Amino acid sequence: MNLSTAQVNGYYVISVEGDLDASSALQLDVAIKKALEQKVSKLVIDCGKLNYVSSSGLGVFISYLSDFETNKVYFALLHVQEKILNTLNILGLTKLLNIIDKIPNA
């Protein structure tokens, strides 16, 4: 898995490419933790090039939801591919995770 970060329209964007599984989940966890340490108020994970996500990968997203709420951080998944969206729907995670098609204007 490859990660990159950028600022877009006032949003801190972490782009994920490849497979998000048990071996790469820690890398994403560290990236999100760094974003929170920087006191970002808008965090988006770009999943446009994410091919696969395991339960460990999903666990990273879920584990931060209370931190995002406590710190009033807007959090969303961007460009979620259909196969991953289907998995999120089956697990009921679309009710917990904000899923967007484009980054809102600042």
Q: Is the pLDDT at 71 greater than 80, yes or no?
A: yes
CATH of span 2-100: 3.30.750.24
Q: How is residue 43 written in tokens?
A: 């965090």
Position 104 confidence tier, pLDDT thresholds 50, 70, 90: confident
pLDDT, tens only, 31-47: 999 999 999 999 999 99
Q: Is the pLDDT at 106 greater than 60, yes or no?
A: no
Q: Which long-range contacts (CB under 8 A, 24 or more apart) does 81-87 make?
A: 81/47, 81/48, 81/50, 81/51, 84/47, 84/50, 84/52, 84/53, 87/53
Q: How is the chain split into domains, by residue range?
A: 2-100
